[in-house]
Amino acid sequence: MELYKNKKMLEEKVFKDPIHRHIHVRDQVIWDLIKTKEFQRLRRIKQLGTLYLTFHTAEHSRFNHSLGVYEIVRRMIDENFEGRDTWNSDNRLVALCAALLHDIGHGPFSHSFEKIFNTNHEQFTNDIIIGETEVNRVLSTVHESFPAEVASIIDKTHKDKLLISMISSQIDADRMDYLQRDAFYTGVSYGSFDMERILRVMRPTEEEIVIKESGMHAVEDYLMSRYQMYWQVYFHPVSRGGEVILNLVLKRAKQLYQQGYAFNTIPKHLLPFFNENVSVKDYIRLDEAVIYYYLQEWIEEDDEILSDLARRFVHRDLFKYLPFDGSQITIMELTELFEQAGINPEYYFFSDSYSDLPYDYDRPGSKSNRKPIHLLSRNKKIKEISSQSVIINSITGKKRQDFKLYYPKEKIMNIQDESIKTKILNLLNELH
Amino acid sequence: MELYKNKKMLEEKVFKDPIHRHIHVRDQVIWDLIKTKEFQRLRRIKQLGTLYLTFHTAEHSRFNHSLGVYEIVRRMIDENFEGRDTWNSDNRLVALCAALLHDIGHGPFSHSFEKIFNTNHEQFTNDIIIGETEVNRVLSTVHESFPAEVASIIDKTHKDKLLISMISSQIDADRMDYLQRDAFYTGVSYGSFDMERILRVMRPTEEEIVIKESGMHAVEDYLMSRYQMYWQVYFHPVSRGGEVILNLVLKRAKQLYQQGYAFNTIPKHLLPFFNENVSVKDYIRLDEAVIYYYLQEWIEEDDEILSDLARRFVHRDLFKYLPFDGSQITIMELTELFEQAGINPEYYFFSDSYSDLPYDYDRPGSKSNRKPIHLLSRNKKIKEISSQSVIINSITGKKRQDFKLYYPKEKIMNIQDESIKTKILNLLNELH
Amino acid sequence: MELYKNKKMLEEKVFKDPIHRHIHVRDQVIWDLIKTKEFQRLRRIKQLGTLYLTFHTAEHSRFNHSLGVYEIVRRMIDENFEGRDTWNSDNRLVALCAALLHDIGHGPFSHSFEKIFNTNHEQFTNDIIIGETEVNRVLSTVHESFPAEVASIIDKTHKDKLLISMISSQIDADRMDYLQRDAFYTGVSYGSFDMERILRVMRPTEEEIVIKESGMHAVEDYLMSRYQMYWQVYFHPVSRGGEVILNLVLKRAKQLYQQGYAFNTIPKHLLPFFNENVSVKDYIRLDEAVIYYYLQEWIEEDDEILSDLARRFVHRDLFKYLPFDGSQITIMELTELFEQAGINPEYYFFSDSYSDLPYDYDRPGSKSNRKPIHLLSRNKKIKEISSQSVIINSITGKKRQDFKLYYPKEKIMNIQDESIKTKILNLLNELH
Amino acid sequence: MELYKNKKMLEEKVFKDPIHRHIHVRDQVIWDLIKTKEFQRLRRIKQLGTLYLTFHTAEHSRFNHSLGVYEIVRRMIDENFEGRDTWNSDNRLVALCAALLHDIGHGPFSHSFEKIFNTNHEQFTNDIIIGETEVNRVLSTVHESFPAEVASIIDKTHKDKLLISMISSQIDADRMDYLQRDAFYTGVSYGSFDMERILRVMRPTEEEIVIKESGMHAVEDYLMSRYQMYWQVYFHPVSRGGEVILNLVLKRAKQLYQQGYAFNTIPKHLLPFFNENVSVKDYIRLDEAVIYYYLQEWIEEDDEILSDLARRFVHRDLFKYLPFDGSQITIMELTELFEQAGINPEYYFFSDSYSDLPYDYDRPGSKSNRKPIHLLSRNKKIKEISSQSVIINSITGKKRQDFKLYYPKEKIMNIQDESIKTKILNLLNELH
């Protein structure tokens, strides 16, 4: 049994990768996990969901990113931690598996699905690792308790906090991979930071990874990259416009199903979701190809709203958006006016808010329970980073929030009743 | 009418792009073409088909590449050709449209489809531009003869050979984009060459684009990049292994259909293809999402071969491959032995050959009818490039061919009859 | 006369450049300025002075950087400003000349020279442009008042504040070039920001360059790059160690000269500097080659201190450094102890302080008189950037200061008197 | 004694490097060699001599490159060779030292100096390693025979051919570093190839480094990069124009000295060179700073030719050049006409020829005695690479040669005798 845990392949497998140049796999367990159908399925789920509708080159998959996180954790261990007193070599494999599988429970367009169908990718991550899957079979071969141990790192209940911090903390392998990868694929320059340096200045402790004081500036740069990627890419309003439509079309399909609507093509893969009773097997069968298949079928459906929203998503005919101040009064007024004009506000009017907190930590007066990033000084003292860095101090706990309204411009312009139309346009103009 | 041709948008649209940094659209016609459903559909077709099964990051779409080719042609014209005697400004828009639409007729996995279903992406390119489509509607608004003119550049019948050479020649915008783009996404270093320099040394003539003599070395480098990308990426045997399985599974489905097999899920989008009677509308409805949907359904089908091959493709359980010398005798012997062992060679044994000719031109003794790359000397003489470059001369007309055999290793290992098994293994061993 | 101002060369001159890819020169005046001996002299002056002793690849010259600043200003004008109401085309040439020549008055190791010999590179910039030089001859050919106009942009007295802001403001061509260039040559990742975007969002006004609101994040990123480059590169303590030695050796040479010391090799190019009576001609004759020549000669001089310091610089045998809290008492104590131990503290003990203010502007309570960076909102209102950006607000006016002590470790270790030695070591240890 | 050989430093020293990202030094011997004055002197010698007069950013030093070659050899050994049967771990240090020191004997502008003063940088490399130098002192501390062993690798007489091939062969660490480094600093795209791959496919044998067959394409790409760098960069005619002037000015100075000319400033560092009697100590004192010092002094000398040529070099006023067919008759005619016109052809007329052989090997009919690049096939057979690669075969033994004439254009234009002037201009025109 233990042999499998340590088994190395005769020849190292090397994946070419534009972010890490090469991803190296020597452990048989890792190779066997990559070959499972649950992991291969990540090839059919985009890392950034609908974002490619704005950043047209952001077409990379979660398969991509998962290998990347694995590689970063592998390098942390093999190039830095191994040989240090505070690192337990015995944890190498479990850390690698957790890194590789941390996103295994993601489905297609997870954010929209969770919102509309009350699913939970974290729950499914656990279920795939623990349940009857190929992934579970590989992990169980290491040891019967191994799957649960892997899962407990990902869901942050493992007793070894260091292992958790490697993939889930404010400076972890997950973020370091996705910031660089998403920047590369979107073609923006903001995601770059000196990961090589960060990998060299990390030090394992019992509780977490800490950063040698001399690496503080590299962490500053990393946090700024994160901040920039959020506002320039992830929260880009056009991009969120894709998700808005997807939310609405899924919501419509679910509502129609619940009302007993007779679909021309029955979306059989989605029925468990409509019923909010989804098994692991149902979940695994779903990928973006399946969703796109139904979306294209729905264009031909008789329900006008379903058909229109599906067409808008597939052919990228997005809503217009406006920034606004978050006032509920404006929203209520507009909702009413839309109804008077015969435009269903439930599906054609959407207010979106999003926020980001670039860095924070649990402290008196803070609502955050995040663990801080700690620096290790020359004389081995531990210091919270914002107490040392002017830059980081300045952004600590500073939440930034934005509001946007989405609506179909041409439907407004086609309103027959000139008085309602004028009222709507005036209200929208005021928002500018 | 003419107004639309010259109409510029109030604000330039800018696509961020990792290859060209930015893609600039000012012409209303181009913007309207990008918004058509036929063009948006290219987002759901990978530029490199099944190659991502080997180069896991090669997930970029034809949408991507089409914008890139447009941008290169736009720069050729706006930054170099405009203002020269040999360039007719009036051709700007038609050249841009042809560049943008040159791949509009590609379907999902075109190579496999053309082989199995006798379709032809060049024919569909023409049909989409000429037929009843959104693309046609945009082009016709420029002028009723405009669609036909765009199509004639792409199918190389246009009387202005210069326009044709911009997107279809041995040094055209198409190749310059895909070599760089495919290299970027696969993470290999081979596709890089100095496109900036090539764009500066191009000169339009009545017949073609020629290259200023001082740019010869940049062209050498470009041809070498092309050669390397072919052998290191496009012809990579593992990658072709993905296409092998796809070919076989489509072939099986078609055969089953023709034999009257009752599918659990009827692949309705594929029926026109099975019947080899495909309308433009049928064709446009097809994308990779649809194919993947059926492939996943087929895993559950009762036919063992269909189910097995579909599973192999979706979960990436590819055949093993061996190089061989192309001998037909070996293939016949192995085919017979496979049959004796009860392994259907029609679906489990595949011989693949592929070749590349990095550069050639129509000349006495050559079987190629390609147009040469011409250099323009200081004293305005035109010279074929291989007469000036030792490097290019050395590869001119040098075809390179490779053969590979593909088979499922574990099926061989499971053969019960030891004598047949041994014979097969021996024959395969000899090929090494 | 006016003809020369507008004269374009038959063929554009193109400099290959790793930062801007290519630097384009079409104007005859610019080309003629580049050919002057005063401008060619910048090839023999390193952009980063002694920094290459730490960042061994930082060997690039001011010639390099000056061309880069020219190219950025050229692109600002040709790709953005030209055609806008708020830009006066007539100012194009004077802006280009000011950009190209903004550093023409720099000598070798300017910082050390200014400190030791009371020279002033800004004064010499003016003198070279106004005085009897090749540069002046070229500029005067444009118009007799042209040199003075160029000089007045560089010394910030020109009445057109927009022109000044292009090369001297908190977001100018000078900084945009050197941050990227210095990052490239040192091999650090911190200097990167999206200059392409900044160049597109700049807008000329009567008073200055303003930034379209949508470009705020790009400016944030630029200011962070600047901050990082200061602390990671320019203020790197080892690097400053090179300058420390250079200061000391020049100070020693000057002191010896003033004391009537008989040099074996008379440093004739330096005599005007020793006498603090430097003509433009004297100044132009000086470059790094000359300084290195004397430094190598001084290794052979009889004065032990001069010889030792010269050797240390040429063969890179730098002092050790320690951070300290800036306390004058410690410095006085150590100075006394060094003297007791027979180590001349004037040449072997150096306290260095340096500070940076990443962004600030003239406002109540601020000691800075810098002009702010202004954003231009959609409705054409002007807003100071720190009022809009949480990140920038957080660093506005936040000065950061550091202190370091430099001393020759081996000289301390060789002190014979154990009691003095122990006292010194104890004091130094406390500083840690 | 042996302890020093294996001594590691407490903390690794890391040099930031734009080519290799970081250069890692753990061995005390290497660190001590870097600190010697002979090695530090390489900071004051440009890797590409006068090339920066054409590629203005090619200002990097031999110090730079020497560290790079060391790093490549270190990676060859530590990441690939160590642990293989065919690699003797005991050779690690000697290989690293030879890599670091392979260029230690280069002086400023070595090519010109060797031509004019009959020096030999290979001889000086040996002398510096064997003679009374700091380098020798460090090496001798390892073992008294150690300096000679290091020298014998560099001069290719060491009995272990593998060690020689690591730094001197057609695919060695020297070339791999300089191709990439020179490409990076000049800003051209041609020098890129996949060194990471080459480092992985190298295998040590008793005789040499061989390349695994699967790495053939990476070697093709490397050889093409080399070919391109030669013709696009190293042999660029403008660049050679800088060397032409340098040759002529040194030749003039030497001739004047031999004729007893009284220099205003005696070039004392050059006297041993004028007398062709140069000691190691004389040689080490020379660097580019010294040469530039004299060149600037010479501008003020009374000899018109010396003064003019020195001015041309320092202020970059190069000769014009023309390609020609190598005909001696033309040269003789022009030489005579120059003399008739009163322009000294010895200093104002220069014919230059240069050639490159991208790849060759010792074989019947070849004049080359180079060792081939060998491939290692799967079945462990050794094959010469051009027998396997169409591309390499096509360039094997193909020498390319070019001729250029250099002359001062304005001197021709100023010839008073119209008939002579016309004859010269006609002859030059014919060359075009």
Q: B76 with B166: CB under 8 angstroms? A: yes
pLDDT at D327: 82
Show Cβ contacts of residue D39 under 8 Å, excluding neighbours closer than 6 positions: D33, D63, D66, D100, D101, D104, D135
Instruction: Tokens for A118, please give them.
Output: 């009350």
Band of the pLDDT at A357, cuts 50, 70, 90? confident
Q: Sort out which chain D residues have CB atoms less than 8 A from B194's CB and list them.
A: 188-190
Taking an 8 Å cut-off on Cβ atoms, the answer to whether C57 and D64 are in contact is yes
Decide if B11 touches C, using CB distance below 8 A.
no
Give ∠ CA A379-A382-A384 in degrees, rounded to 5: 135
Per-residue pLDDT band at B270 (split at 50, 70, 90): very high
Kindly provide the b/e burial profile for residues B334-372, where b requires at least 16 CB atoms within 10 angstroms of the residue's own CB: beebbeebebebebbbbbbeeebbbbbbeeeeeeeeebb
d(CA C187, CA B5): 48
Partner residues linked to C93 by β-bridges = none
Chain C residues with CB under 8 Å of B21 CB are 196
D292/C296 touch (CB, cutoff 8 Å), yes or no: no
Tokens of D154: 């560099």
Given pLDDT bands bounded at 50, 70 and 90, which one contains residue A187? confident
Radius of gyration over every alpha carbon of chain D, rounded to an integer in angstroms? 24
Q: What DSSP string runs through B17-83?
A: ETTTEEEEEEEHHHHHHHHSHHHHGGGGSBTTGGGGGTSTT---BHHHHHHHHHHHHHHHIIIIITT
Decide: helix, strand or coil at residue A61: strand
Q: Tell me the chain A residues in contact with residue D22 when contact means C-beta distances shorter than 8 Å.
A: 196
In 3D, which of A401, A399, A122, A353 has the Cα closest to residue A244? A353
Chain A residues touching D21 at Cβ < 8 A: 196
Give residue-wise pLDDT tens across range D119-152: 999 999 999 999 999 999 999 999 999 999 999 9
Pairwise CB contact (< 8 Å): D64 & C64: no
Q: How confident is the model at residue D432 (pLDDT cuts 50, 70, 90)?
A: low
**Residue D141 burial by CB count (10 A; 0-12/13-18/19+): exposed, middle or buried?**
middle
Token digits for B106? Answer: 């590609």
Q: Which chains touch D (3 or more CB pairs under 8 A)?
A: A, B, C
Indicate the pLDDT class of residue C157, thresholds 50, 70 and 90. Answer: very high
User: First-to-last CA distance in chain D?
Assistant: 66
Q: Determine the Cα–Cα distance for residues B203 and C273; give it in Å rounded to an integer.
A: 56
Q: In the prediction, which pLDDT does A367 show? A: 67
DSSP labels, B309-377: HHHHHHTT-PPEEEE----HHHHHHHHHHHHHTT--HHHH-EEEEEEE-SB----TT----PPPPEEE-
B17 touches chain A (CB under 8 A): yes
Closest C-alpha to C95, from C196, C178, C179, C168: C168
Segment D221-241, tens digit of pLDDT: 999 889 889 888 998 888 789
Distance CA C58, CA D15 (A): 12
**In this structure, what DSSP letter does residue D302 have?**
S
Looking at per-residue confidence, does D83 or C146 come out higher? C146
Q: What angle do CA B33, B35, B38 make, to 5 degrees?
A: 75
Q: Please give the order of strands across the beta sheet that includes D374-376.
A: D202-204, D209-212, D374-376, D382-384
A388 CB near a chain C CB, below 8 Å? no
Judged on CB neighbours under 10 Å (0-12, 13-18, 19+), C373 is: buried
Q: Distance between the two ends of chain C, CA-based, in angstroms?
A: 65
Instruction: Report whether pLDDT(B341) > 90.
Output: yes
Tell me the torsion sign for CA atoms B112, B113, B119, B121: negative
> Chain C closest CA to B279's CA: distance in Å?
45
Chain B nearest-CA distance from D18, in A, is 17
Reported ipTM? 0.90
* pLDDT given at position D1: 45
| CA gap C236, D317 in Å, rounded | 38
For B168-174, what is the mean pLDDT? 95
| Record: contact C296-D289, CB cut-off 8 A | yes
- Pairwise CA distance, residues B57 & D339, whole Å: 67
Look at residue B11 in the predicted model and tell me its pLDDT.
81
Across-strand partners of A61?
A46
Q: What value does the mean pLDDT take over residues D6-34?
A: 93
What one-letter code names the amino acid at D423? K
How far does C4 lie from chain B, in Å, by closest CA?
Answer: 24
User: Which of D80-88's residues contact partners 24+ apart within 8 Å by CB, and which partners?
Assistant: D80/D199, D80/D200, D80/D202, D81/D202, D81/D204, D84/D203, D84/D204, D86/D162, D86/D203, D86/D204, D86/D205, D86/D206, D87/D162, D87/D204, D88/D160
Mean predicted confidence (pLDDT) in B278-297: 95
Distance between CA atoms of D406 and D243, rounded to whole angstroms? 11
Chain C residue nearest residue D300, CA to CA? C285
The gap from C-alpha C385 to its chain's centroid, in whole angstroms, comes to 26
For residues D191-206, give the mean pLDDT: 91
> What was the pLDDT predicted at A231?
83
**D356 at B interface, C-beta within 8 A:** no
Q: What is the mean pLDDT of residues B110-123?
A: 92
Is residue C245 within 8 A of residue C319, CB to CB? The reply is: yes
Q: Show which of residues 150-209 on chain B sit within 8 Å of chain C, judged by CB atoms.
A: 196
Beta-carbon contacts below 8 Å between A and D = 4
Report CB contact under 8 Å: B315, A37.
Answer: yes
pLDDT at A155 > cutoff 90: yes
Residue C391, chain A, CB below 8 Å: the answer is yes
Q: What does each C-alpha distance from D275 to B184, B383, C357, D107, D294 come to in angstroms?
A: 57, 52, 57, 17, 17
Torsion of CA A216, D64, D233, D244, to 10 degrees: 140
In degrees and rounded to multiples of 5, residue C146 shows phi and psi of -65, -45
Name all domains of chain B by residue range, CATH numbers in brackets. Answer: 2-234 (1.10.3210.10), 238-316 (1.20.1250.30)
Give the span between the Cα atoms of D269 and A274, in whole angstroms: 89
- The mean-pLDDT minimum among B222-236, C328-342, D34-48, D114-128 falls in B222-236
Residues of chain B with pLDDT > 70, as a percent, come to 98
Percent of chain D with pLDDT over 90: 76
Nearest to C17 among D37, D187, D296 (CB): D187
CB-CB contact of D181 with B192 (8 Å): no
Beta-strand pair C374-376/C209-212:
parallel
For residue B22, give how far its alpha carbon lies from the nearest alpha carbon of chain C (Å). 10
Mean pLDDT of D380-387: 92
Q: Of C46, C206, C90, nearest to D44 (Cα)? A: C46
CA neighbor of A190 nearest in space, from A219, A161, A158, A232: A232
Q: CB of B148 within 8 Å of any CB in chain A?
A: no
Least Cα distance to D278 among D417, D152, D105 occurs for D105
Which pLDDT value is given to residue D238?
Answer: 82
Model pLDDT for residues D336-347, shown as the tens digit of each residue = 999 999 999 999
CA A78 from chain centre, in angstroms, equals: 27
Helices C288-299/D288-298 angle, 10° precision = 110
- D63 lies within 8 A of chain C by CB: yes
Under DSSP, is residue A301 helix (H, G, I), strand (E, B) or coil?
Answer: coil
Eight-class DSSP state of C416: S
Can you tell me the distance from the alpha carbon of C305 to that of C299, in angstroms, rounded to the nearest whole number? 10
List the single residue in D with minimal CA-CA distance to C315.
D37
Q: List chain D residues with CB under 8 Å of C315.
A: 35-37, 40
Asked if D57 and C288 come within 8 Å (Cβ–Cβ), the reply is: no
Residue A2's pLDDT band, with cuts at 50, 70 and 90, is: low
Nearest CB neighbour to D232, from listed B217, B390, B398: B217
Inter-chain contact C190–A217, Cβ cutoff 8 Å? Answer: yes
Q: Does C85 touch chain B (CB under 8 A)?
A: no
When pLDDT is cut at 50, 70 and 90, the band that residue C360 belongs to is confident
Give percent of chain C with pLDDT exceeding 70. Answer: 98
Q: What gap in Å lies between CA D19 and CA C430, rounded to an integer?
A: 40
Q: What is the pLDDT of residue D367?
A: 67
Question: Among partner residues D194, D394, D398, which is closest to B189 by beta-carbon distance?
Answer: D194
CB D356 within 8 A of CB D235: yes
Spatial contact of B196 and C22, defined as CB atoms under 8 Å apart: yes
- The residue of B230, B379, B390 whose CB has the most chain D CBs within 10 angstroms, and thus the best one to mutate to test that interface, is B390
How is residue B33 written in tokens?
A: 């073409």
Closest approach of chain D CAs to the CA of A237, in angstroms?
37
Q: pTM score, two decimals? A: 0.88
Confidence of residue B141 (pLDDT cuts 50, 70, 90): very high
Mention every residue, 6+ apart, whose C-beta is less than 8 A from residue D48.
D55, D58, D60, D182, D185, D234
- Please check the confidence at residue A191 and state whether its pLDDT lies above 80: no
Mean pLDDT of D179-205: 90
> Tokens 């073992």 identify what position?
D143
At D368 the pLDDT is 67
- Chain B residues within an 8 Å CB radius of C196: 21-22
Query: Lowest-confidence range among A99-103, D2-6, D274-278, D293-297?
Result: D2-6
Q: Which are the contacts of B375, defined by CB distance < 8 A and separation ≥ 6?
A: B210, B211, B212, B213, B216, B382, B383, B384, B385, B388
Which of B21, B186, B285 has its CB closest to that of A16? Answer: B186
Contact list in B for residue D395 (CB cut-off 8 A) is 390-391, 394
DSSP 8-state code for residue D89: G
Q: What is the DSSP letter of C318?
A: P
Q: How far is A17 from chain B (nearest CA, A)?
A: 5
Token digits for A77?
Answer: 């261990």
Q: What is the mean pLDDT of chain A?
A: 92
